[in-house]
Amino acid sequence: MLRRGVLLALSAVLLIPTVAARAANRGLRTRAPRPFVVPLSSPALYGINPTTDKHYLTAPDGTKLFVETWLPAAKNGNVPPAKIPTILVITPYVQEGTLESQSTRDAMVTRGYAYSQLHVRGTGMSTGCIQMYSQTEANDGAQAIEWVAGKGAHGSSWGNGVVGGYGVSYPGGTILNAAARGNPAKTQYLKAVLAGAPAVSLYESAWTFDGVESMLIPQLYYGQYMTTTSLPPGTENGQPAQYVEQYSQKPQCYPEHIAAGMDHSGDFTPYFQDRELRGSVGNIKAAVFTFHGHADNVPYHGVPPIVQIGLFDRLPAATPKFGIFGEFGHESPSSNARGPAVYQRRADFLNMEIAWFDHYLKGIDGGVSTWGTAQVQGTDSKWRVVPDWPRDTGGPTATLPLAAGVLGAKPNQLGGSTTYLEAGFETTQGSVPGTTATFDTGRLKQPLELTGAAQLNLWLKLTLPDSHVAARLDAFDASGKPIVTGSTYALRSAQHRDPFTDGRFMQAHGSPAPTGTPFELTLRFQPTDIVIPAGGRLRLTIAGSLIVNQGLSQIDDQPVTIPEPLFHGPSEPSGVVQPVEILTDKQHESALIFQTPPKNPDYIAPALVPR
């Protein structure tokens, strides 16, 4: 998220229920969408004080943590209270005086909130070394929560004991990290969080999936944080000649991160274990509002949607939550700058943000209870309310068995096997004949919708004890054209076969794969919602590696002038050239398993930004 920049042993840990339907003709629109309107829950009464409060907190290890705060000012006779709630942002992306989110600052401060930015240690005006999602960052965040709440030793002068947290991408992860792993005595003042595309797992945020690393992406990821993001204060506007001296101050900061970037094992090492917060989600008591785009699939500017598994769906039942998951990119559903269609921008998102904080920080009823648990948008642009995401979207489960090029084979078609060659860097896109296996539904007689986190259960037979297996789903409309964002993908190392934990990959060490004997390997797809109309089709391609993004032209808004095929970021193959046999008989049924919407989905019609 570099910005600016099986039946898994078996039913206990399935991403989706094991009760499977042979057909998946669900998602029929039998009910017209109902209007969904979010009014402003409070008026903007105040101005913004042009002078910010600047304060250094001292961490237990002596690191100086810089907090800058914007406060409301009197306007038109409206005088803000002396004690007010605070919106806290924990970010590595700002310098003194710059804003992580101007829209949030402007909306909340004018409504009687303080807006504080904690500079992540090792970035901005804070000292020390950047820790990238670690327990140390969680501790720093908890310390800042307590201070802006006006509690603890020498707490802020304005804090009323109530704090909300905001952030997108890395800052979305830091506030959840503090909420999940920070000292409860300090985080008790955090009452609500709004976190978009949250970086809650460094393993997956650096584009490594289930034992398979993506070519170049982890190195680019760590490299960015070791250079531009963690420059000493002032270098963003400094002179290049100063950089050598400034970098020389931080040589102790980099070795651990560089070593992680150089590790191609795919193991979930102790380094990544310290930078994985989803195992602590059960500790979160603050109300959580999170959002994430299905189209957040560009490594250099995003957080993969797979981080949603084991996050939103694992929050405690007593913790209020709401989520928005739709056809947008690494942003909010109101901006959609990198999403597939500008006209799909929702016009109600800022009103939702204000209502969420008003409700949980000030007790103002803005209708939050009427939103549902989560709202999901399909590739047909329609929104619906679901009971959870991504592992329970309210509908039945469907199974499409594989057999001899067929996706969705009937029982009498099962039998035999399909073989492809894992060879070098051949991928599921632009592959040499013989290096992929393809399965297709053919033209569908009824609409088909895949929602949530699909998985592919494969029975494999290898001749050598290693393989990387990449799978890609592509949807096509009735005219044969690809459906925009109608694709999703999955990766798995055959040496990393341990069952998932709460749907998450946690295997610390690889082990040789079985040879000459069938074994089951389950692949997790990126969560999405793909709607295929009648006459369309769904294609599954399996190979040794996969192109996981659109190329380095996605790094910035301006295209780069280097050959894109070289830098499309394929996942790394295992390096073992061997035939991979996919078994498709009745005793070893390889199949795609996914959820479908309920028979009568609750469709809504939120306000959209005019075209």
258 neighbors 222 (Cβ within 8 angstroms): yes
pTM: 0.91
The reply to whether 545 falls in a domain is: yes
**pLDDT at 529 > cutoff 60:** yes
Q: What is the pLDDT of residue 245?
A: 52
Confidence of residue 368 (pLDDT cuts 50, 70, 90): very high
Q: What is the pLDDT of residue 233?
A: 58
473 neighbors 489 (Cβ within 8 angstroms): yes
Buried b (16+ CB within 10 A) or exposed e, 500-529: bebbbbbbeebeebeeeeebbbbbbbbbbb
The DSSP letter of residue 296 is -
Confidence of residue 21 (pLDDT cuts 50, 70, 90): very low
Task: Count CB neighbours of 290 within 10 A.
Answer: 24
401 neighbors 507 (Cβ within 8 angstroms): no
Q: What is the pLDDT of residue 337?
A: 66
**pLDDT at 455 > cutoff 60:** yes
| Average pLDDT of the residues in 339-347 | 72
Beta bridge partners, 455, equal 524, 593
Confidence of residue 124 (pLDDT cuts 50, 70, 90): confident
The reply to whether 345 falls in a domain is: no
Q: Which of 371, 275, 360 is nearest to 319 (CA)?
A: 360
Q: What is the pLDDT of residue 430?
A: 79
| Average pLDDT of the residues in 220-246 | 61
Confidence of residue 247 (pLDDT cuts 50, 70, 90): low
Confidence of residue 232 (pLDDT cuts 50, 70, 90): low
State pLDDT tens for residues 39-50: 999 999 999 999
**pLDDT at 274 > cutoff 60:** yes
**pLDDT at 598 > cutoff 80:** yes
The DSSP letter of residue 225 is I
Distance CA(400)–CA(406), nearest Å, equals 9
Confidence of residue 15 (pLDDT cuts 50, 70, 90): very low
Dihedral angle of Cα 221, 224, 229, 234, to the nearest 10 degrees: 180
Confidence of residue 429 (pLDDT cuts 50, 70, 90): confident
Distance CA(57)–CA(4), nearest Å, equals 27
**pLDDT at 562 > cutoff 60:** no
Mean pLDDT over the full length of the chain: 88
Q: Which of 507, 539, 550, 503 is nearest to 523 (CA)?
A: 503
Q: Which of 478, 567, 493 is nearest to 212 (CA)?
A: 493
Instruction: Count how many Cα atoms sit within 13 Å of the Cα of residue 570 in the half-sphere of its side chain.
Output: 22
| Average pLDDT of the residues in 447-462 | 97
Task: Count CB neighbours of 10 within 10 A.
Answer: 13
Distance CA(595)–CA(526), nearest Å, equals 13
The reply to whether 362 falls in a domain is: no
The reply to whether 524 falls in a domain is: yes
How far, in whole angstroms, is CA 3 from its chain's centroid? 13
CA angle, 438 then 440 then 446, to 5°: 165
66 neighbors 120 (Cβ within 8 angstroms): no
CA distance readout (Å), 476 to 82, 440, 441, 444: 59, 11, 11, 10
Q: What is the pLDDT of residue 214?
A: 87
Confidence of residue 609 (pLDDT cuts 50, 70, 90): confident
Q: Which of 230, 249, 312 is nearest to 278 (CA)?
A: 312
| CATH code for the domain of 502 | 2.60.120.260
Dig out the tokens for 364 from the structure: 């103002």
Task: Count CB neighbours of 238 within 10 A.
Answer: 13
Confidence of residue 301 (pLDDT cuts 50, 70, 90): low
Q: What is the pLDDT of residue 10?
A: 24
38 neighbors 608 (Cβ within 8 angstroms): no
SS3 readout for 357-387: HHHHHHCCCCCHHHCCCEEEECCCCCEEEEC
The DSSP letter of residue 513 is P
**pLDDT at 253 > cutoff 90:** no
CA distance readout (Å), 67 to 74, 101, 121, 195, 540: 23, 15, 11, 19, 49
**pLDDT at 353 > cutoff 70:** yes
- The whole domain housing 424 covers 11-28+395-598
CA angle, 208 then 213 then 219, to 5°: 90
State pLDDT tens for residues 161-195: 999 999 999 999 999 999 999 999 999 999 999 99
The reply to whether 116 falls in a domain is: no
The reply to whether 421 falls in a domain is: yes
| Average pLDDT of the residues in 477-489 | 93
Task: Count CB neighbours of 296 within 10 A.
Answer: 25
Number of folded domains that form the chain: 1
Q: What is the pLDDT of residue 128?
A: 87
**pLDDT at 311 > cutoff 60:** yes
Confidence of residue 13 (pLDDT cuts 50, 70, 90): very low
More confident call, 246 vs 400:
400
Strands (E) across 364-467 are located at 374-377, 383-386, 397-403, 406-407, 417-422, 436-440, 448-461
Task: Count CB neighbours of 411 within 10 A.
Answer: 11
Task: Count CB neighbours of 12 within 10 A.
Answer: 9
Instruction: Find out whether the peptide bond into 233 is cis, omega within 30 degrees of 0.
Output: no
State pLDDT tens for residues 538-561: 999 999 999 876 554 444 444 445
Confidence of residue 231 (pLDDT cuts 50, 70, 90): low
State pLDDT tens for residues 129-165: 899 999 999 999 999 999 999 998 899 999 999 999 9
Q: What is the pLDDT of residue 554?
A: 43
The reply to whether 206 falls in a domain is: no
Q: What is the pLDDT of residue 568?
A: 57
CA angle, 59 then 64 then 70, to 5°: 105
Secondary structure of residue 267 in the 3-state scheme: coil
Q: What percent of the chain has pLDDT over 90?
A: 73
Q: What is the pLDDT of residue 16?
A: 31
State pLDDT tens for residues 104-116: 999 999 999 999 9
β-strands 448-461, 468-476 pairing: unpaired
Distance CA(236)–CA(249), nearest Å, equals 16
The reply to whether 114 falls in a domain is: no
